[in-house]
Structure 1
Amino acid sequence: MLRWQRGWAGAAFLPVARRTMAGAPTVSHPELRSLLAAGRARLFDVRSREEAAAGTIPGALNIPVSELESALQMEPAAFQALYSAEKPKVEDENLVFFCQMGKRGFQATQLARGLGYTGARNYAGAYREWLEKEGQR
C-alpha cells in the first residue's frame, strides 16, 4: 500500500511503501514459518540471555540488543569464537530479528540496516506471537 508523505507545509512528496513500526521491514508469522522451513532465514533473538534461556524460536542465535552493534562489527573469526556461529554477511537476505514483544526486535533491525545489512527484517509478532501460534500445533 502506498501513502503520501507531507512536508512541513503540507506539500506531497513521493509515495513511500507503508511498513509497520516506522519503516522497518517486517516478516509475518506465516512468512517466517515458510522461510524457516525452506532454510532461507537466519534468526536472531535479541532478548537477554535469561529470556532466551527460558525459551526461544528453534534455531535462533541469541545476541542481546545491547551487544548487537559490536557483534555485527566484529571480525568473522571473533564472531565465530564468541557466538559459535558464522557471522552474517551484509548481503545476506532474511536476517530476522525478534524479541519478546517487538520493540527490541525493531531496534535491532534498524541498527543492522544502519550498518549496511539490507536484508535485516523484524519479526514484529515477536516471541509472544510465536508461542501463541506454535503452541496450538
Structure 2
Amino acid sequence: MASTVSKEISYEDLKALMGKSQNLLLVDVRSKEEVDKGRIPGSVNIPLDTVEAALKMEPEEFKAKYGVTKPPLDTPELVFHCQMGRRGGTATNKAHELGFVKARNYAGAYKEWSEKEGK
C-alpha cells in the first residue's frame, strides 16, 4: 500500500518542526557556492550528487563527515531542500528509494524561505 505521508512540507510546517524537534535533519542539497550565499539555519549541506552515498553511510561515518546524527529510516524529520524545489524533490525520491519512507521535500526551497524571512 502506498504511503499516505506527503512527500512535501510547507514553510509553516517546516518552521513549526524547527521550533519543536531536536531530531530534525534539514538537508540542503545545493552546491557549496549556493550555500555560501545564504542558508536556512540549522541545515546541513549534502550536495545532491552525494546524497545517495551519504544516506548509505554507516552512522559513525555519517556523523564524522557531517557533524550530525544519521537519521533512522523511519524518521518523519528528514527534510530536503534546494534553491527552487526540484533538486530537493530528487533527493527526497532517492531517500524514499533507500528506505527513508517519511522523508520530505521543502518545495518552497531556499527561495521561498529567504523571501519569507526577509533575507
Question: For the structure 1 residues 28 and 106, does the alpha-carbon distance in structure 2 shift closer, same or farther, using more than 3 Å as the test?
Answer: same
Write the mapping of 1:44-63 to structure 2, written as runs, cut at 5 A.
44-63=27-46
Show structure 1 runs of 5+ residues with no match: 1-16
Could you say which residue in structure 1 is the equivalent of 2:94?
Answer: 111
User: How far did residue 25 of structure 1 move?
Assistant: 1.0
Distance, in Å, in 1 between the alignment partners of 2:8 and 2:24 is 13
Which of 4, 17, 32 matches 1:35? 17
Please say if 1:127 is aligned against 2:110: yes
Distance, in Å, in 2 between the alignment partners of 1:106 and 1:115 is 14
Q: What is the CA RMSD across the aligned residues, in angstroms?
A: 1.9
User: How far does the alpha carbon of each residue in 1:87-110 deviate from its partner, in whole angstroms, 9 at most, with x for none?
Assistant: 111111121100000010000000
**Identity fraction in percent:** 49
Distance, in Å, in 2 between the alignment partners of 1:35 and 1:85 is 17
TM-score scaled by structure 2? 0.90
Q: Which has the higher contact order (CA 8 A, sep 6+)?
A: 2
Could you say which residue in structure 1 is the equivalent of 2:57?
Answer: 74
Structure 1 runs, 4 residues or longer, greater than 3 Å off:
none
Q: How many residues align?
A: 116
User: How far did residue 132 of structure 1 move?
Assistant: 0.5
Higher Cα radius of gyration: 1
